[in-house]
Amino acid sequence: MKLNKKIMIILAVILVIAIVSSVLITAAVKKKNDPNRWKKQGYDLSVPVLNENGWYMVFEDDFNGTKLNEGINFGEKYTGNKEIWTTSPHAIRWQSNDENKPEQACWWCPEMVEVKDSKAIIHSRYEENHTCDGDCPAKGRFTSGIETRLISGDNNNNKGTSDTLLFAQAFGYFECRVKIPKSQGLWSAFWLQSSNMRQVGNNGKDGTEIDVYESAFLNNETSRMGHALLWDGYGKRAKVADYIGNLSQDLYDGFHTYALKWTPEYYVFYIDGVATWASDAGDVSRVKEFLRLTVEIDAGDGSGPHGQEIGQFSHNNDDNDDFEIDYVKVWQNENYEKFIQDDSEFKGSFDLA
């Protein structure tokens, strides 16, 4: 009887341990899968206020003119280039997924960029008699973007390892007000990228692609938007952290603001002045990065970023909306400047896949 009693006690202890372990594991899984856990990480989610707590203006561009780089308002501390914008690399962006339909490839062409009515406008069109100063075909899908770097060498080799940076900044506050295209097969984005983003071995400290937003959610039943962080290139060693949030407002209706607060410790993303994600994934980039506002077209398969089905791009141009950029603002915080590191401080091989 004594032996049986001991066995029963041991079994009871094992059962208690199993139940407690199960509860702890379940709680850990729930915590890991909690889509709002970023709100509980202690990040400062407040929107910066200009001229308070170290924040100062670097530049604000309302696109008041007839071409890029006219009328940019630079802050008193700014000493860099006054012509900071150029068009996205004049080259093919995506090959067609159907070799029998090469016209479904996506091309970035400067002819698709226009500045008027105090906006930078990116057109997306299918053309059968396209003409330009580059290597674009006569027949195809054309769009573009604006950014603050120049590709060195072949535009088709868009690897970003030896760019000329017209403007780049580490840390700060970055905001745009845009009207995203409400058309099948299109997605626009506001993103920052580093020339060293493809360098492997330093986590994301030596450069991280920061997707402030990507608009690939037109076909969803609820209004959604995606943010993402990518580092160590795009090959086998690539790493990514992303977040898709549900929203109350219809982001495909009119103009909305998208912003990033990039501190030395974490990133905070905002839509219409409300924090929608925060993360310290990739150990936070410490190097200067250039700005990009771009449009891309599906390559015939109706697929876009975040694994989303974005529909087929129409070859009837009456169906295709423009991407309208009302303004871009960049601020810096004097308390962050001491944490900036140069690209040369990080060593490693580049994954150019």
Alpha-carbon span 158 to 136, nearest angstrom: 16
Alpha-carbon span 209 to 229, nearest angstrom: 6
pLDDT tens-digit map of 292-306: 999 999 999 999 999
Picking from 167, 172, 175, the residue whose alpha carbon sits closest to that of residue 262 is 172
**pTM, to two decimals:** 0.90
What letter does residue 312 receive in the DSSP assignment?
A: P
What value, to the nearest 5°, has the Cα angle with vertex 150 and ends 148 and 153? 165
**Residues in CB range of 102: below 8 A, 6 or more apart:** 96, 137, 140
pLDDT < 70: residue spans in the chain: 1-33, 153-161
**Per-residue b or e along 312-341, where b marks 16 or more CB atoms closer than 10 Å to that residue's CB:** ebeeeeeebbbbbbbbbbbbbbeebeeeee
pLDDT tens-digit map of 104-161: 999 999 999 999 999 999 999 999 999 999 999 999 999 999 999 998 766 666 666 6
- pLDDT at residue 20, as a whole number: 41
- pLDDT at residue 22, as a whole number: 44
**Domains in the chain and their CATH numbers?**
53-350 (2.60.120.200)
8 Å CB contact between 210 and 267: yes
